[in-house]
A and B are shown apart, each in its own frame.
Chain A
Amino acid sequence: MRAWTDERVERVIGGLLRWGVIVAAAVILAGGAMYLVRYGSTIPDYRVFRGEPSDLRNVSGIVTGAVSWHSRGLIQLGLLLLIAVPVARVAFSVVAFALQRDRTYVVVTLIVFAVLLYGLTRVGP
């Protein structure tokens, strides 16, 4: 097995980032196209802030909406995939630093990962 040099780690991360973004963009485009086909002639209003309904705010609601082919749920699913890209990058870095036996950076990366998870799983205002 080849060694996990910094260069190799960064190359793998680069590929991960690119493909993640492509997949997320494709899902968002599909959901957006579905929405515009159905509701393209409605009048949008973003002047007044109402906040999104709860099923577009959390992971389980979004996934439920997306699997039943709700266009807005599908866009939010693409959005979740997009958020997952940098999170996966950090998770991958934890493993890479562990393979390099760099304990300091395993700890550093785990802290970043914990902060990200806190931001994503926190419920309420």
Chain B
Amino acid sequence: MNSLEFSLLVWLGSLAAGFLGSLTGLGGGVVIVPLLALRFGVDIRYAIGASLVSVIATSSGAAAAYVKEGYSNLRIGMFLEIATTIGALAGAFLAARMSPSAIAVVFGAVLFYSAYLSNRPRPEHPSAARPDPLATFLRMDSTYPTTEGLQPYRVHNVPGGFGLMFVAGALSGLLGIGSGAVKVLAMDQVMRIPFKVSTTTSNFMIGVTAAASTGVYLSRGYIDPVLVMPVMLGTLAGSMLGARVLTRAKSRILRIVFSLVILALGVELIYNGLTGRL
């Protein structure tokens, strides 16, 4: 396989990953790294570097569309980005000290958890009855559009959400993924922010989080331009396509199929990691 064929195949794979990732809300990053490492024989460090770049592109590209809808909350996002960016730097430093096999095993475990999170029923917590003093001080309480007009919501347990966001950032920096699943968990389950606000704000934060660790990867020489090119262009095109279809498609079956793919990749990553083949 020469460079031209390799680039075309990687581009097609990334296109599919970006498309499915945006349709299911799981993001393309969770598939890109295993795809490159297992199917294309790319060293996992190069794969993580290329994936991080594609995460910045898809997050920034999609955010423009979400902003218009009026769901995302700039203040919540910015405050929690303190935790995710510091976490991302910690994750990137950790990546240099872990063997590729160990990273593969952690990656596999995160894939399992992501598949579980996206398929479990989401209890909608009623908005907190009393305002939270810290959330009030940080002016996080806001409104979001629903079919019955603007609905106010109150934010809860800011320190808990902040702590979990640090973990989300660390996973992002270590594995080259957006870790949107953990970010949404922190916002809608811990901080009791409405689901729609959580997902759009999370998407907004992913690009900034990934930018923090990409600099570290770049200076360490983990980012190969020739590999980045098809991965970034493919996932970007795929996710934009996905965002267009999103409003029409029935995503439940797709999500189950995509989760099964993720589980299979997770098993393979852990197996290869434990047997030292990566």
The answer to whether A75 and B225 have CB atoms under 8 Å apart is yes
A7 to B59, CA, bound (A): 19
A30 to B112, CA, bound (A): 38
| B224 at interface, CB cutoff 8 A | yes
Q: Which of A17, A48, A73, A121 contacts B60 (CB 8 A)?
A: A17
Query: What would 6 more interface pairs be, CB under 8 Å, given A29-B233, A52-B222?
Result: A18-B64, A32-B226, A40-B2, A85-B60, A122-B215, A125-B96
Q: Closest CB of chain A to B135's CB: distance in Å?
A: 12
Q: Who on chain B is nearest to A104 by CB?
A: B138
A residues touching B (Cβ–Cβ < 8 Å)?
A: 6-7, 9-11, 13-15, 17-18, 20-21, 24-25, 28-29, 31-32, 35-36, 39-44, 46-49, 51-54, 56-58, 71-73, 75-76, 79, 82-83, 85-87, 89-90, 93, 102, 104-105, 108-109, 111-112, 115-116, 118-125
Q: Closest CB of chain B to A76's CB: distance in Å?
A: 5
Q: With A32-B229, A51-B221, A83-B214 as known contacts, state yes or no: A112 contacts B6, CB within 8 Å.
A: no
The answer to whether A123 and B219 have CB atoms under 8 Å apart is yes
The answer to whether A119 and B92 have CB atoms under 8 Å apart is yes
The answer to whether A41 and B3 have CB atoms under 8 Å apart is yes
The answer to whether B42 and A46 have CB atoms under 8 Å apart is yes
Q: Who on chain B is nearest to A19 by CB?
A: B64
A28 neighbours in B (Cβ, 8 Å): 228-229, 232-233
A119 to B218, CA, bound (A): 10
B residues touching A (Cβ–Cβ < 8 Å)?
A: 1-4, 6-7, 36, 40-43, 45-46, 53, 56-57, 59-61, 63-65, 67-68, 70, 72, 74-75, 78-79, 81-82, 85-86, 88-89, 92, 96, 100, 137-139, 207-208, 210-216, 218-230, 232-233, 236
What is the count of residue pairs linking A and B with beta-carbon distances less than 8 angstroms?
Answer: 205
Q: With A72-B225, A83-B211 as known contacts, state yes or no: A42 contacts B2, CB within 8 Å.
A: yes
Q: Closest CB of chain B to A29's CB: distance in Å?
A: 6
